Amino acid sequence: MSETHLSTRHLLGIKYINEADIQLIFQTADEFKDVINRPIKKVPSLRDVTIANLFFENSTRTKISFELAEKRLSADVVNFSASSSSVKKGETLLDTVNNVLSMKVDIIVIRHPTPGTPIYLSRRVEANIINAGDGTHEHPTQALLDAYSIRSKYGDVAGKKVVIVGDIKHSRVALSNIFCLQKLGAKVKVCGPPTLIPKHIESLGVGVEYDIDKALAWCDVANVLRIQLERQDVKYIPSLREYALFYGINKERLSKLDKEITIMHPGPINRGIELNSDVADSEHSIILEQVENGVAIRMAVLYLLAGRR
């Protein structure tokens, strides 16, 4: 690996970066993972950098993870929540962002319910833009931390069989994971009820399996997604009980397999619907390792993009 810079000055989606970028982020995250396991979990790398976290949608993991990553790199950090801002008084997104930037902010981390918002901003402002989830479009740092967690578990992502299970239609995590895993050489299938699998998803090079037991028998890793009731304007499944019955992953289902598989979930989990506690909290699950790896991955992304200011 000879590259030392990302090919881009923004992280708008996995679609817009290449394999060398992903490998560079992983190698940099390896170094930061060592840092955050030390008694003093902080380095001065970004002490001249100011970062604003603009969250127009709810978040637990991504928001805390970015803030911790920024603080562990010694950046100055400001947090913005739409619900307590002048957005409520009718200010436009661009006015809001330009006002924040006039206070000498260098990097914007943004979560927004509208797909394409980070791309829109990247074309209109000077700061580096990091997409922390834009509607049903992409969630690039989630896909990076997911693939990094597979690499941590198996040594490599190439050749691994990964099934993404559940509400593919409404999931930004699914799309970013498909791009990321394929760029790293994994084989990817999606599995869920036909109503929650987008038409023509095969055109992205993924397989489709509607039978969860066949999908689990095929895979090394199952990345289980949340049923996103808040994004479903019409009913796509008859009931959550039926979803849990046909697609919910539980210990009984895993016990029928003739091999061990790894269970992932980006969170938040709907326990008892897509995933039972007897699996989520079991030795099969690397869910909390994913969260832990998220800080190192976000440190790497921030560090590398700050070098492209």
Q: Which residue is nearest to ligand CP (CB)?
A: 62
Among 157, 266, 280, 296, binds ligand CP (CB under 6 A): 266
CA dihedral 82, 131, 193, 266 (to 10 degrees): -90
Residue placing its CB nearer to ligand CP in the complex, 133 or 166: 133
Q: Site size for ligand CP, by CB under 6 A?
A: 10
Find the angle CA(252)-CA(254)-CA(259) to the nearest 5 degrees: 140
Is 71 a binder of ligand CP (CB under 6 A)?
Answer: no
Interface residue with ligand CP among 13, 133, 140, 192 (CB under 6 A) is 133
Structure tokens at 272: 């008892």
Residue 111: CB minimum distance to ligand CP, A: 7
CB 134 to ligand CP: min, Å: 12
Q: Strands 187-191 and 128-134, how do they pair? A: unpaired
Closer residue to ligand CP, CB minimum distance, 187 or 301:
301
With CB under 6 A as the contact rule, the residue among 62, 131, 171, 223 that binds ligand CP is 62
Joined together, the tokens standing for residue 67 give 């803030």
Q: Which two tokens stand for residue 110?
A: 């943004």
The tally of CA atoms less than 13 A away on the side-chain side of residue 195 is 10
Contact call for residue 83 and ligand CP (CB under 6 A): no
Pure H helices in 61-171? 61-72, 93-101, 117-122, 140-154
CB of 191 to ligand CP, least distance (A): 20
Minimum Å gap between C-beta 141 and ligand CP is 9
Q: Is 166 in the site for ligand CP (CB under 6 A)?
A: no
Site map (CB under 6 A) of ligand CP, residues 284-303, x = contact:
--------------------
3-class DSSP string for 28-91: HHHHHHHHHCCCCCCCCCCCCCEEEEEECCCCCHHHHHHHHHHHHCCCEEEEEEHHHCHHHHCC
> Could you list the residues that contact ligand CP (CB under 6 A)?
59-62, 133, 139, 142, 266-268
